[in-house]
Amino acid sequence: MKKEYNFNDRELDRIIEMAWEDRTPFDAIQDQFGIKEQEVITLMRLEMKPTSFRLWRARVQGRKTKHRKARGMEVDRFRCSRQRGISNNKVSKRR
């Protein structure tokens, strides 16, 4: 049975973006959107090309940073400290 997801395009894009980010744990996606890791994997499989999904899955599968319990104490944010700020959907420019 195929599960229906009732996300708008913006939410769907954000879930995919968070899943692609190496330092964003699946727990953060669950906290924000209410879907578990297995559901994120299913959603990614439905939304991505098969080759892209396989590459993503191989990269994420052994990554400690995608699971909050497996992370070290030094990783306590969802966002990398070197990541630039985003405002009004545009990347902030350095001055």
Residue whose token pair is 């969802």: 78
For residue 59, the enclosing domain spans 9-91
pLDDT for the residue numbered 21: 86
Q: Residue length, the chain? A: 95
Q: What is the mean pLDDT of each run of 10 residues along the chain (95 residues)?
A: 73 91 86 92 93 91 66 54 51 46
pLDDT for the residue numbered 46: 92
Task: For residue 11, give both structure tokens.
Answer: 């939410």
pLDDT for the residue numbered 55: 92
pLDDT for the residue numbered 45: 94
The answer to whether residue 19 is domain-embedded is yes
The answer to whether residue 79 is domain-embedded is yes
- pTM value > 0.85: no
The answer to whether residue 2 is domain-embedded is no
Indicate if the alpha-carbon torsion angle 55, 61, 67, 72 is positive or negative: negative
pLDDT for the residue numbered 50: 94
The answer to whether residue 63 is domain-embedded is yes
The answer to whether residue 47 is domain-embedded is yes
